[in-house]
Amino acid sequence: MKIFIDSADIEEIRTVFENGICDGVTTNPTLVARTGQDFKSALTQIVNIVPGPVSAEVIATDYKEMLKEAEELIKIGNNVVIKIPLTLDGLRACKILTGKGIKTNMTLCFTTLQALLAARAGATYVSTFVGRLEDVGENGIKLVSDIKTLFSMHKIDTKILAASIRSQEHVKEVALAGADAATIPFKIFDQLYRHPLTDKGIAQFLDDWKKADQNKILFS
């Protein structure tokens, strides 16, 4: 499973990509608005930090306007992926963009049938919103596993991008459910590698080493 960062914050993205273990970035209008930055300048900075796919979402709800926005967004970088809401106009725009060889991420997906239509429109990714389904008492993880079953059965290439991730447990569960990628908020990403027993183990190793005074032998 690939790891994406769900953020438009330049410092968060820079911090994560310095370590080289992240595969891409997803943004959305809320995340961009939160930065207080101009969308195009923020996106330009992001595509120059991130070697992998960077999802940038259209604001328009009409397919013709979506296409106009997409044409502007893809000029910003060849790793820009056009993020489009899963509506009829969105599907229409996705189909047209796919025909032009432009990568797309159909977002706000909450059902298996929406995901199937996104695949039929040629979407590169479909973003399944796990946390928001759980907010309304539904099973977001089962959505991922159902789509995985469907896509595997029919040999569909569209990638399942698990989104609306709220915890480390979500990351584990969507990985086990077969998501091709998960897009993770920075604060959760920054928890993934941490464990108190890891820290305790390192301290113990160093303490034992110091006691044995091995430095002289090892580095003599």
Residues that bind ligand G3P (CB under 6 A): 6, 26, 28, 127, 129, 131-132, 163-164, 183
Q: How far is the CB of 161 from ligand G3P (least distance, A)?
A: 9
Q: How far is the CB of 78 from ligand G3P (least distance, A)?
A: 22
Which entry of 2, 75, 83, 103 is annotated as an active-site residue? Answer: 83
Helix (H), strand (E) at residue 104:
strand 104-109
CA-CA distance, 100 to 78, in Å (whole number)?
Answer: 13
Task: Assign 177 to helix, strand or coil.
Answer: helix
Q: Which residue, 161 or 203, has its beta carbon nearer to ligand G3P?
A: 161
Q: How far is the CB of 170 from ligand G3P (least distance, A)?
A: 10
Q: Is 64 assigned a catalytic role?
A: no
Residue 186: both structure tokens together: 């920075």
Q: Which residue, 79 or 183, has its beta carbon nearer to ligand G3P?
A: 183
Q: Rounded to 10 degrees, what is the CA torsion of 82, 85, 88, 89?
A: -50
CA-CA distance, 140 to 200, in Å (whole number)?
Answer: 35
CA-CA distance, 77 to 102, in Å (whole number)?
Answer: 12
Q: Which residue, 117 or 174, has its beta carbon nearer to ligand G3P?
A: 174
Q: How far is the CB of 42 from ligand G3P (least distance, A)?
A: 14
CA-CA distance, 55 to 10, in Å (whole number)?
Answer: 14
Task: Assign 24 to helix, strand or coil.
Answer: strand
Q: Which residue, 6 or 173, has its beta carbon nearer to ligand G3P?
A: 6
Q: Which residues are catalytic?
A: 83
